[in-house]
Structure 1
Amino acid sequence: MRARLLLALLLAATALCLADGQKIRRRHRRLRTTTEPPAPPAPVVPVAPPIPVDADHVLRGIAERLDEQRYQDAMRARLNDVQEEGESPDNDVTIEDPCLKVHCSAGRICEIDEHGEAVCNCIKDCPYETDSRRKVCTNHNETWPSDCEVYRQRCLCLDGSDLCRGPQYHHVQIEYYGSCREMPECVESEMSDFPRRMRDWLFNIMRDLAERRELTPHYLKMEREAESNLTRRWTNAAIWKWCDLDAHTTRARHDDRHGAGASSRPPRHGTTRQCLQRVRARGPLRPVHRRVRLMRLHV
């Protein structure tokens, strides 16, 4: 009986000890949690204020995009219409300026008549020239304001216009640029020296053409022969020139006599052109060999 009582007391004491230990642990835990410093607050992330939406701006943007879309659609439709018209056989017409393939001579200009054809008409008006260097001297020893006026006058005379000053201007030519100079008549000594000057002039031209390789092999051989044989110099040059003039006829052509063009320098007294005009005045040009003898050459 006593043993049971002691066992019960022992159990009761053990239970009390356990209860006291649990109370002490709870108290220690409570004190520990209250004595720890409080955790720092979490950083606050700033939130951007909402952007105010401009309803008018949005509407204008939408309207502009719609207008751009409508414009592009209209351009596509127009392009399609043009392509369809181009493919149509009724509209397959290409307009070309007929003057592009027409070359008019000096003093004329290409114009389109009422039938749509290109014609070369005389220049209506030449530009007014104030520079004295633009003046030209013609084969009539007349000073003109410009070469345009000379070519225009020749064109008017060839077309039979009332503005033509006279029949002598049908073949008016420019002798040189600049005002005309007074040229006295060639005297007999100058006329006697004219054949020598003509021979030298012809050979110098032949030599220049040979250096530029513009002579045919036959005349190139003649030029080389003249270089080595002085007695053949003038003869070969004269034969070459007159044969060149008479390639298609036994008479000198109009373009042969005037084809050298206008000189940029006024002529001096007793030049080849001036004396040659006096030679022509003595009679018509003769066949080749007679012309060569006229230059006092022997062939």
Structure 2
Amino acid sequence: MAGSSPSFPASASAPQGPRRAVFFVSDSTGITAETLGSALLANFPGTAFERRTVPFVGTVTPVEAVIQSLRKTARTGEGPIVFATIKDAGIRRRLAEGAAVVIDLLAGHLAELETALDTAAETRAGQYHGLGDLEQYFARMRAVEFAIEHDDGQSRRALDSADVIIVAPSRCGKTPTTMYLALHYGLLVANYPLTDDDFPTDALPPTVAPHAERCFGLTTTALRLSQVRHERRPNSTYASLAQCTLEIRRAEDLYRRNRIPFLSSATRSVEEMSAVILQSMTLRDRPNERPLT
């Protein structure tokens, strides 16, 4: 993959028509429901969804309020879809009364595990999202702190400790990808913005040049970059199609000359880009990578 950009399909147009209501309902933060539910919804790119996350059901959020919201939504269109990670069987039964299609993401699997392990699962709410291994938790927190300190090239301190350094023009997706890798995998990730000051040159910027073997580049389409930048600085040179075309061309040339692997963020989610980076940089074998529990 080094020195070339993977060929990705053109971005599909957004689905038209009414949006199906989707609720991610959880007795804790909702992260698991969002992650698993969104992975399933991704298999239906032709359908538009309006998503809502409802966390801490049964403790902070009253169950009746959720049911009322589901019923209200059902009266205005098709029945909502609920992705639930709820441990309390009574709450799960109540959700089924909300005129919604309820997809229980975990209960069936818990029953299978109970059989396999010959023991009953804990019933405490929020258990799915416990800290688990404290060492693992603190490794993630250290990784997040490292990512914040090294966001947008703000710091050179301990840059030689980085597992990967993401290099890209402004607004190509550096920061969200950096934070995802840090929070979900405990990786030490820095990112560096390519600016006009870094060109013309055939070499990597001095800040990241000593760490070329750990650099990974992001690019996008000039049109997509222009659209994103117009949201931040409308009608500016920074957001012009000509400026974006120039920056993308210079960045890709730089990656190729220095044999830096790179990919386009135009048609990929943060999760997909992170997976490509992990595979390309062989980071799955690093001892400090710990998947999110």
| Bigger-Rg structure (1/2) | 1
Kindly indicate which of the two structures has a greater share of residues assigned to strand: 2
Name the TM-score, length of structure 1 as normaliser.
0.19
Kindly indicate which of the two structures has a greater share of residues assigned to helix: 1
